[in-house]
Structure 1
Amino acid sequence: MPATDVECADVYLNDLRVGLLERLPKGNRFTYQVQPPHPIAFNLPYRPEPYEQEGENLPPFFANLLPEGQRLSALIQRVRTSPSDMFSLLLEAGPDCVGDVYAVPEGQSPHPEPLPTLRSLKSADFQALFQEVLNGPPDVSISGVQEKLVISDAMQTLPIHASAIGSSILKLSPPTFPHIVENEALFLDIAKRCGFQVNSARIVTDRTGKTGLLVQRFDRLRRPGQPLLRIHQEDGCQLADRYPADKYRLSLRQIAESIQTFSAAPVPQILELIRRYAFAYLIGNADLHAKNVSLYLEPNSGLAVQTPLYDIVSTAAYAHLETRMAMKMDAKDDRFRLGDFVAFGSRFEVSESAIVPNLQNLASKLEAQVGRIQTLPYAKEDRERTLDL
């Protein structure tokens, strides 16, 4: 049955069917059918009464499970529907979404088609694999296959299974942003050296000489002798109960308010948010937006904390891009001083005595890494523009 003809979808949390999502003539309805181990979304706590909404045919939480960029464009063309028909697009995208929640047509098997497997990276053709998945069966829906004029909507991103590390994301540099793979690889490593948690990532090369960035997924957990475990994760748009189109409209304060509401330890988590924002500003990552900040249920503790850093690049390397921060902090998007971060933190009970040494330590560690920018394969003027930050 075409996705556009489906009126009801089963909602799963890992392998447990937990509810029913319905397309209505003027909106949508979600109803829990069992009480799950945890709610499917922070903004959708368990209750026996249905959640009903007028307007869009998909709630914001589910809308943010949709892919972006080229992947979304391909889905729209394949389904022959409009971008606003998010219910149909979600079903067409398939069950391999970010996190542990997904939807399939009512009564359909929830098991996705196997992800592309790279057993030998050197014998693969990354671009051909990307096109095959883009044009092939709709069984992968991870956000990020992107092509817009901002960095977060540029990198071609493909979920795969790599024999060496399991569930992974393969990122490729599009023609519009050359060497973005090398850019992200460098700044992921710099972030790690500055004390941030990042997932394992390395540059790989295919048989044509094209480079890619192979990143281990943090929303999937391999367990010996057991099925792959999906980890619950929600990005800033989901936490704020907003649609994906609002990812550049949400401010740092709105993200912090969501973290304050839903995280296990709000004060240290907001301090970490401030550190991450300062890091993005210092490296020239002007494209930080709401979908680049996420909470997940940490696998060992089960507590809601921020995920490892992801999508870290210096947009300063590209002369045609905006240099001001996409996500504003207290109405400012540039020329930040230490006092700005202190004032912001005070609104969330994060003390000056915690913020100042943390940011001074961050700046010191980052300064020790600045020389490594010279190793990026950009033209001299592009490297110098990044060094000037």
Structure 2
Amino acid sequence: MAPVSHAADRVQSLDVYLNACKIGTIVRTPGDFNAFSLDPAYRATGGTPVLSLSLRAATGGLRRDPRPLAGALPAFFANLLPEEKLREAMEKHHAASVRPGNDFDLLAALGADLPGAVRVVPTEGARAVASAQAPQPPRLRFSLAGVQMKLSVMKNTGKGGGLTLPLEDGQGQYIAKFPSLTFPGVAENEYANLALAAALGMDVPARELVDKADFEGIPEEFDTLSDGKVLLVKRFDRGQGGRRRHIEDFAQVFGLYPSRKYDGAAYHDIAAALTMAVSPAAALDFVRRLALCAVTGNGDMHLKNWSLIYPEGDGPPALSPIYDMLSTVPYLPADGMALTLGGERSFKALTPSRWKAFANRARLPEPAVLAAVAATAARVNAEWWHLPERAAIPAAVLARIDRHITLMLPILAECGAG
């Protein structure tokens, strides 16, 4: 059988599925406009299963279909695609079918293996059959949101073990985050910070550090040229037998494009949304994670680094397990919080008055927020200094993290005073 091509000039219609449920269709019209419409059967359900909270109308039910967009996808789908260097590498990998900067082309190439349970596949009859004159080699067809060089990978269970990349219809069960020439020790940094979060009782996926030599067949365009350790994290949106769990990040929840992930909303907006969509307890769990970011110096927890995860059946979503939890201050000494917290971003400015302002804007009780912040700081002080995973972090990076934690502990501890 001839291989299936996702040629940019041939695929004009993509069907959107949430697991087996058809949600709608994205059509590319003349002039490179992209129109997304909900399937009538899905609209008749009122939006079950939930694709995105952004589709819900304030009056109940589902919003009207959005207007066609020139050269862009609706924000929900744009947020499923990689960004910056990772996107450039994937576009180069699919150069025969993906034009640089074209979201529709890239979604057509990667849509069968997106984050969560969403699948976007060519509409029946819209697939193009490649000519026999130049068969294309197997390609990586997964998408991971974000900018860091990372790949969806599989563990080999046979003799010899090792890690391989899923080609064509294969599905990865782990995310491999590769070392960086620009940010030394970034994998070890995140590994230790995830271990700290787990020690604090937070929901953290399984993770391990592996050698780059453990991987087979990394295409040249994805090679970071650094020989440091690789962080391997179990995908919480994948289960046994390739079962997929639906997730959406808060850029998707708020209907914002990736370019707005640092300024499209504030932390109190996320907390308020969690209270409404999940529970006040979930919002306080979020507060504890925010306090951890402040004390460790994590300045990259933008809208796309917080997500909801949905149950397989009906029921409200939950705050997803933690991901992308690392200290950024060793690499960006003047860094601050990715979003505003009580009107501030500077770590040193996160005094009790800022947390009170955050609580009021999020409509959370001040005493509960302050207690959560102070308790998190105390737990970090009790766990960090003897955490075994500290030993994996390069000395210079660890020293910078330690200085920041030493600075922040008394500032956050003030939240428990009086």
When normalised by structure 1's length, the TM-score is 0.80
Q: In structure 2, what residue type is equivalent to 1:102?
A: R
C-alpha distance 377-50 of structure 1, shift in aligned 2 (>3 A): closer
Q: Deviations over 1:19-56 (max 9, x none)?
A: 21112344423221432741322222575964434445
CA deviations 1:325-347 (Å, max 9, x no partner) are 22111321012012321321133
Q: 1:202 to 1:349 in 2, by over 3 A?
A: same
Q: 2:121 aligns with which of 104, 112, 116?
A: 104
Q: 1:360 aligns with which of 361, 374, 385?
A: 374
C-alpha distance in structure 2 between counterparts of 1:80 and 1:349, whole Å: 45
Q: Are the structure 2 counterparts of residues 202 and 302 from structure 1 closer, same or farther at C-alpha, using a change threshold of 3 Å? A: farther
Q: Which residue of 1 aligns with 2:53?
A: 42
Alignment RMSD, CA only?
2.8
Amino acid at match of 1:195: G
| Deviates most, 26-35 or 174-183 | 26-35
Residues 169/198 of structure 1: CA separation in 2 closer, same or farther (3 Å cut): same
The structural deviation recorded for 1:253 is: 3.0
- Counterpart CA distance in 2 for 1:340 and 1:48 is 35
Residue 181, structure 1, aligned to residue 196, structure 2: no
Structure 2 residue corresponding to 1:325, chosen from 337, 342, 356: 337
> Per-residue deviation at 1:75?
3.7
The unaligned stretches of length 5 or more in structure 1 are: 111-134, 147-153
| Separation (CA, whole Å) in 1 of partners of 2:242 and 2:104 | 26
Q: What SS does structure 1 have at the residue aligned with 2:54?
A: coil
Instruction: Using the TM superposition, name which of 298-307 and 351-360 deviates more.
Output: 298-307
8 Å CA contact 2:268–2:359 kept in 1: the answer is no
Query: Percent identity among equivalent residues?
Result: 27
Matched residues in 1 for 2:289 and 2:403: separation? 20
1:22 alignment partner in structure 2: 27
The residue that corresponds to 2:174 in the other structure is: 168
8 Å Cα contact 1:247-1:291 kept in structure 2 = yes
User: What's 2:111 paired with?
Assistant: 94
Q: CA shift at 1:72, angstroms? A: 1.1
1:291 aligns with 2:304: yes
- 2:169 paired residue number: none
Residues 287, 325 of structure 1: 8 Å contact kept: yes
Q: 1:157 aligns with which of 150, 167, 170?
A: 150
Residue identity matched to 2:391: T
Whole-Å Cα distance in 1 between the matches of residues 200 and 24 of structure 2?
Answer: 42
Superposition deviation, residue 384 in structure 1: 2.5
For residue 87 of structure 2, what is the amino acid of its counterpart?
Answer: L
Q: 1:171 to 1:48 in 2, by over 3 A?
A: closer
Deviations 1:110-155 (A, max 9, x none): 9xxxxxxxxxxxxxxxxxxxxxxxx9614111224x3xxxxxxx4x
2:234 to 216, 221, 225: 216
Asked whether the equivalents of residues 76 and 255 of structure 2 are also in contact (C-alpha less than 8 Å), the reply is yes
- Conserved 8 A contact 1:240-1:255: no
**Equivalent residues of 1:240, 1:258 under 8 A apart:** no
Give the distance between the partners of 2:333 and 2:10, measured in 1 at CA: 41
Of 352, 355, 369, which residue of structure 2 is paired with 1:341?
Answer: 355
Q: Which residue of 2 aligns with 1:232?
A: 246
Partner of 2:199: 193
Structure 1 residue 245: Cα displacement: 1.0
Larger radius of gyration: 2
Give 1:117-132 correspondences, 5 Å limit: none
CA distance in 2, matches of 1:243, 1:216: 26
1:123 aligns to what? none
